[in-house]
Structure 1
Amino acid sequence: MTSSAHVTTDTLATPDGSLYYELRGSGPLLAIVGSPMHTAPFAPLADLLAADHTVLTMDPRGQYGSVLNDPESDSTVPLRADDLARLIQRVDAGPATVLGSSGGAVTALALVEAYPQLLRTVVAHEPPLAQLLDDREQQLALQEETVATFAAGDTLGAVRKFMANAGFVMPEEVFLQAFGRERSPQEAAGERYFYLHELRGTVTWQPDLDVLRATPVNLIIGIGETSAGQLCDRASRALAAALKLEPVMFPGGHGGFMEDAAKFAARLREVVG
């Protein structure tokens, strides 16, 4: 199923800035959210899902088109959940199904806790919830080391540490091609904001397991088929076990929606109905 739906772009004013978002298609509302991932990498998946959904994508606060009045303010998980709630209410086509990827999955879980009335189904795909791991102290220390490396001016070193901590492996030439090139001003600003103001708040967030267990929202914990042993795989399995849920497998790895958007979209449709 494909879509050539027109993309509508807009911004929404918030108390501390503005949010950039995109809408595609028509039908039941499906929001896709990342952190720090912005709208562009989700576009192929959103285009496919727009064949039978109103698809909402957004730039997270402080990233790309979502501008903060104070660019040095931190991106906390509750603030990102508030942002997404505002956009869901703005679109006014709910209750919504939400696919949250990585840090966006953490945002989606916080949305379940704070705004269940806005939601039908939430798919939390590989949230990096380090607090749920047995080796949480080591993991959090590694994240602090990554932030400190970036703050000291070693951008490539920080990226290497982040990738290693997450368990992502790629050939050196591919790594340098992706991260060793010169960044655009927008990319550099987004990267800086992530390491200095977004990463720490995401990985240290502690879900309220009692609230999540009792939620009326259809909550699904998604894991990539090729993510075995990675930090987000372990955290997702720990969360699913704590909630007494069976994790749902999706094609590909942590970024499976970028590896094969068509397969990922088909699996998402199977899962959410």
Structure 2
Amino acid sequence: MTELETYTLAVPGAVLHYDVRRNDASTEPVLLLIGSPMGAAGFVTLAGHFADRTVVTYDPRGAERSKIPGEVAESTPDDHADDLHRLISALDVGPVDVFASSGGAVNALALVARHPEQVRTLVAHEPPASRELPDREVVLAACVDINATYRRSGSGPAMAKFIRLVSHDGPLPAGYADEPAPDPAAFGLPTEDDGSRDDALLGRNMISCNHYRHDFDALRAASTRIVIGVGAASGETLARRAAAAVAERLGITPVTFPGNHIGFAGGEYGQTGEPDAFAATLRSVLAD
């Protein structure tokens, strides 16, 4: 594998930054590692486990180096899917393999529904497809509230609500919206509003990602091999439950990966999962 090379790609409404770790000797498809809003920096450890093939990572629109200046506007999974379509086309390498985490998994499923010819295998790890949950109405209302809190009060109060939501084990109770708001300071978050409103998670993707309606007919008919991943240590948290529901809609059995929602992390953003075991499982899945 060569040293990391960085490129930019102009897409409608944004300029994407992406990185290529090239291995010209490899006969395997290019491996695209994606998240949302997690950018390329979140996949450094995982990329290092696949030095035997070319690996591409990127920063989604609105995140990291692909920041969009100005007023916060919503970014939808269809927007991200079109970005991914253009990125894969720019690589000009034929069908790729994709490992997609969290919101990136939602976006990758949207990509495959539209352009299955571009992806050989998609491993979608814990997509928060909240519309597929039996408690969807409570979950979707919570997502709307998090976005409204962000726009009204800033990142600290909104992120505290987000952490509480994604950490909740099991279906949300009917009275969830009436529970007292969590204290941002309890999570080490700022209590003062700095006035910024450009957060990709809380401002751009919070509603559109969780509210997205997947085209399951298109996904079932796709030529792409789709694998749904769940974390062994994820319990019954929202993303894990949603992933299982997506697998059921597709008529497939989810694959269990070591660790939790960020089991692949090796210290990026201060989070560490079980990256060695996670990468070994991913390699096995891609080889099937």
TM over 0.5: yes
Match of 1:175 among 183, 187, 191: 187
1:244 equivalent in structure 2: 251
* Cα distance in 2, alignment partners of residues 101 and 68 from structure 1: 22
The one-letter code sitting in structure 2 at the alignment partner of 1:260 is E
What code does the residue aligned with 2:228 have?
Answer: I
Specify the code of the residue in structure 1 equivalent to 2:187: F
1:263 and 2:270 equivalent?
Answer: no
Q: 1:30 to 1:127 in 2, by over 3 A?
A: same
1:141 matched residue in structure 2: 141
CA distance, structure 1, for counterparts of residue 19 and residue 102 of structure 2? 20
**Match status 1:96 vs 2:110:** no
Q: Does 1:15 align with 2:12?
A: yes
Displacement of 1:71: 5.0
Q: TM-score, normalised by structure 1?
A: 0.89
In 2, Cα distance between equivalents of 1:87 and 1:95: 12
Question: Which secondary structure state, in structure 2, belongs to the residue aligned with residue 219 of structure 1?
Answer: strand
Structure 1 residue 119: deviation in Å?
Answer: 0.9
Name the SS for the 2:256 alignment partner. strand
Distance in 2 separating the partners of 1:231 and 1:271? 24
Q: Is the Cα–Cα contact under 8 Å of residues 25 and 52 in structure 1 kept in the other structure?
A: no
How many equivalent residue pairs? 262
Find the counterpart in structure 2 of residue 42 from structure 1: 43
Cα shift at 1:115: 0.7
Pair 254,184 (structure 1): closer, same or farther in 2 beyond 3 Å: farther
Q: Is the 8 A contact 1:123 1:222 kept in 2?
A: yes
Structure 2 partner of 1:116: 116
Residues 53 and 173 (structure 1), Cα distance of their counterparts in 2 relative to 1, 3 Å cut: farther
What SS class does the counterpart of residue 240 from structure 1 fall into? helix
Distance 1:144 1:128 in 2: 14
Distance 1:217 1:113 in 2: 9
Distance 1:12 1:252, change over 3 A: same
* SS across alignment from 1:94: coil
Name the CA shift for 1:47/1:101 in 2 (closer, same or farther; >3 Å). Answer: same
Q: Distance in 2 between matches of 1:189 and 1:38?
A: 19
In 1: Cα distance, 2:200 partner to 2:285 partner? 33
Q: In the TM superposition, what is the alpha-carbon distance from 1:194 to its structure 2 partner?
A: 2.2
Gaps of at least 5 residues in structure 2 are 170-183, 266-272
Helix, strand or coil at the partner of 1:123: strand
Q: CA deviation at 1:73?
A: 2.8
Which residue in the other structure is 1:74 paired with? 74
RMSD of aligned Cα (Å)? 2.4
- Are the aligned partners of 1:16 and 1:69 in contact in 2 as well (CA < 8 Å)? no
- How far off its partner does 1:19 sit? 0.5
User: Compared with structure 1, are the counterparts of its residues 202 and 15 closer, same or farther at alpha carbon in structure 2 (3 Å cutoff)?
Assistant: same
Aligned-pair identity (%): 39
User: Any conservation in 2 of the 1:167–1:229 contact (CA below 8 Å)?
Assistant: no
- SS of residue paired to 1:65: helix
**Cα separation, 2, equivalents of 1:142 and 1:9:** 37
Structure 2 residue 210 is matched with structure 1 residue 203 = yes
Q: Which whole-Å CA distance do the structure 1 matches of 2:282 and 2:87 have between them?
A: 22
Given the two structures, how large is their TM-score scaled by the length of structure 2? 0.84
Question: Which of residues 238, 253, 268 is equivalent to 1:231?
Answer: 238
Query: What is the CA–CA distance in structure 1 between the aligned matches of 2:243 and 2:139, rounded to whole Å?
Result: 15
Structure 1 unaligned blocks of 5 or more: none
> Contact 2:31–2:55 at 8 Å: present in 1 too?
yes
